[in-house]
Amino acid sequence: MPVDKLFNSPQEALACLSDGQVIGVSGFEGQGEPIALLRELSKMNIQKLTLLFDFPTSISSEGSSVLYDLCLSGRVQEVITCNRASEYVGVSSELVDKVKLTFVERNLLAEQLRVIGAGLGSVEFVRPSENAMRYEGIRLDVALIKGFQSDHLGNTVYQGTSRNWSPVMAMAARITIAESDSYVEPGVIDPEGIITPGIYINRIVCVNS
């Protein structure tokens, strides 16, 4: 039976989400956010989530405001991010009361995700930093990423700097759900130009068919 990872709607694609999961969401300063998936996530009644995303310096994009509201709604118990989110202007003190904010430096966080994608346990860097020397991988149960074009096998490419977290989160998650701008037939994307091979992606939703 041929592999077909295409789902008809965000609702169907996100049906595998459940309480207590660690969910990574791609995006950086408003670029590369899987907005349709986030809109659907905000409607779902799942609890005790840990979200991992790059908290933007201002809550101005649609994706970031959906994530922010989700955090305030009580369904999220922890946010792992690479910014000192609680110190931002416009971030209410309610956020600190409702959610445990864990700060991990961005490049270290990227490496901890990649380590899981590469099947390793942990890493130690050449130069020491303020925290413990050995860093263990951070495994995501689910990654919600934003692609530009995907085929039904899951091969995905990205658009410009929207790429940001998507490739490494796709490697680190048990289930990767990609929201792509468009669907293409297998073979349209040059094999040498595939940035995320389909093996890393489990479900695809195309927003502009």
Partner 1 sequence: MRITQTQENLLIKCAEYLTPGQVVSLGFGLPGELPMALAGKYPYVFLTSSGLVGDWENAGSPSDFIDGNKNHVKLRPGSSVLGFGERASLITGGYVEAVVIEPKSLDRQGRWTPVSSDVGDLLSLMNHSERLIGLLELENQSDKFVDSLSEDVCSPREMDKIITDMCVLSVTDQGLIVDEIRKDYDANDIKNKLGADVLISESCRFYDPLSFNKGGNSKISKVYKNGRSAVSDISDGSVVMIDGFAGPGGMAHYLLVSLRDQGAKNLTIISNTAGIARVVNFGTPPGKLVIDHSILIDNGQVGKAIASYPVSPSASNPSSFELAYRAGEVDLELVPQGTLAERLRAGGAGVKCFYTPTGAGTLIAEGKNAYNLDGKEYVEESGLIADYCIIRGYKADRFGNVVYKGTSRNFNSVMAPAAKISIVEVDEIVDDGALNPELIVTPGVFVDRIVVRPSDFSPYE
User: Using the rule CB under 8 A, which residue among 29, 78, 141, 181 binds partner 1?
Assistant: 29
Among 14-22, 33-41, 68-76, 127-135, which window interacts with partner 1 (CB under 8 A)? 127-135
> Do 30 and 36 meet the contact criterion of CB atoms below 8 Å apart?
no
Nearest Cα residue to 53 out of 15, 103, 118 = 103
Which residue among 79, 95, 138, 168 contacts partner 1 (CB under 8 A)? Answer: 168
Q: Are 184 and 150 in contact (CB under 8 A)?
A: yes
Closest distance to partner 1 from the beta carbon of 203 (Å) = 20
Do 151 and 198 contact (CB within 8 A), yes or no? yes
| 146 is a site residue for partner 1 (CB under 8 A) | no
Residue given tokens 């901890």 in the structure block: 112
Contact 23, 70 (CB under 8 A): no
Residue listed under structure tokens 């009580």: 74
Q: Provide the mask over 171-190, with x wherever binding to partner 1 is found by CB under 8 A and - wherever it is not.
A: x------------------x
Question: By the criterion CB under 8 A, which residues form the site for partner 1?
Answer: 28-31, 54, 57, 82-84, 87-88, 105-108, 110-111, 113-115, 118-130, 136, 157-168, 171, 190, 192-193, 195
